[in-house]
Amino acid sequence: MKKKRKQSRLREIWHQLKKNKMAVVSLVVLIVLVLIAIFAPLLAPYSYSEQNVLNANASPSAEHLLGTDDLGRDILSRLIYGTRQSLQMGIFSVAIGAVIGIIVGSISGYFGSWVDNLCMRLLDIYQAIPMFLLCVALAAILGPSLRNAIIALGLGVVPGFARIMRASVMTVREKEYIEAAKSINCGTGRIIIKHIIPNAIGPMIVQITMGVGSCILSGAALSFIGLGVQPPIPEWGTMISEARSVMRQYPTQALYPGICVMISVLACNLLGDGLRDALDPRLKN
């Protein structure tokens, strides 16, 4: 019975989301990206590391649809494989950051007083460490890799999520229905999980989807300075930085991964906006 209700709620959200054309397009784009990431070996015409120095920096042709890079590797294949790294970077790091952020923010916002003070001061101290320095430190300790870059990025975005969640929880906490919940013997845990988080999560959803976008960007930057994805594994950010040396002669080599980053970030943001509207029952009409 409960399952049935959950399904109907999902259907409800989908019904709302459908009305927003941009959000639907974004959702389709993101699903396609995820599918590309999953089926990369089947879709890519070449291996991402297959070199052909004799055919370096080739223009687009029937053989290489988007041309080749300075080592003669097929750019289209590298973009397709790169989707895997970039999406992982964006999604998993935000997942880590959002989960920790929501927990810390909810506790801090709901209990207030010294709990709030403690959490916020700890976050202040934490935020005083530059994120890149933290990533460098983590990479030094754990060794540079995709996984460690994700952990570093995820921890880096925690304060932003925690603060937004806290502010949102604080406004919900004062609502009369929270007092109403107390009056019918609702325990603190249930109040936070059933009443506070669902009502306070709205602003977070936009932040989360935008976070995916910005983490894809930050991940690219990390890869660029050699702390993220290690060559020869392709990643959009690494591809841009590799193309930098031949930017003047072959600008398209940097342009393609750039467009990929832009499309995925834009899709994330637009879907976030659409979801926020769909999740808010007060906006239903």
Partner 1 sequence: MTPLLEVKNLKKYFKTAGGTLHAVDNVSFTLDRGKTLGVVGESGCGKTTLGRTVLHLTNPTDGEIFFEGNNITNPSKHELKKLREDMQIIFQDPFSSLDPRMTVSEAIMEPLLLKGGMSKDDMREQTRKLMDTVGLAERFEHSYPHELDGGRRQRIGIARALALEPKFIVCDEPVSALDVSIQAQVINLMLDLQEERGLTYMFVTHDLSVVKYISDDIMVMYLGQVVEKAPAEELFQNTLHPYSKALLSAIAVPKYPNDTKRILIEGEITSPVDPKPGCRFMARCRYACEECKNPQRLVEHAPGHFVSCCRYKEINNIRENKEEKVNE
Which residues contribute to the site for partner 1 (CB under 8 A)? 1, 175-177, 179-186, 190, 195, 198-199, 281-282, 284
Separation between Cα atoms, residue 150 and residue 96, nearest integer Å = 9
Separation between Cα atoms, residue 167 and residue 198, nearest integer Å = 14
**Nearest of 247, 255, 258, 262 to residue 214 by alpha carbon:** 262
CB of 165 to partner 1, least distance (A): 17
Encoded tokens for 69: 């890079």
Nearer to partner 1, 248 or 281 (CB): 281
Nearer to partner 1, 113 or 249 (CB): 113
Buried-exposed string 238-276: b where 16+ CB fall within 10 A, e elsewhere:
bbbbbbeeeeeebeebbebbbebbeebbebbbbbbbbbb
Nearer to partner 1, 248 or 282 (CB): 282
CB of 198 to partner 1, least distance (A): 5
CB of 177 to partner 1, least distance (A): 5
CB of 190 to partner 1, least distance (A): 8
CB of 179 to partner 1, least distance (A): 6
Helix (H) or strand (E) run with residue 147 in it: helix 146-173
Encoded tokens for 41: 């070996």
Nearer to partner 1, 121 or 190 (CB): 190
Per DSSP, helices labelled H in the chain are: 2-18, 21-38, 40-43, 75-111, 113-128, 131-142, 146-173, 176-183, 188-190, 197-200, 202-224, 236-243, 252-279
CB of 20 to partner 1, least distance (A): 19
Nearer to partner 1, 37 or 200 (CB): 200
Nearer to partner 1, 13 or 38 (CB): 13
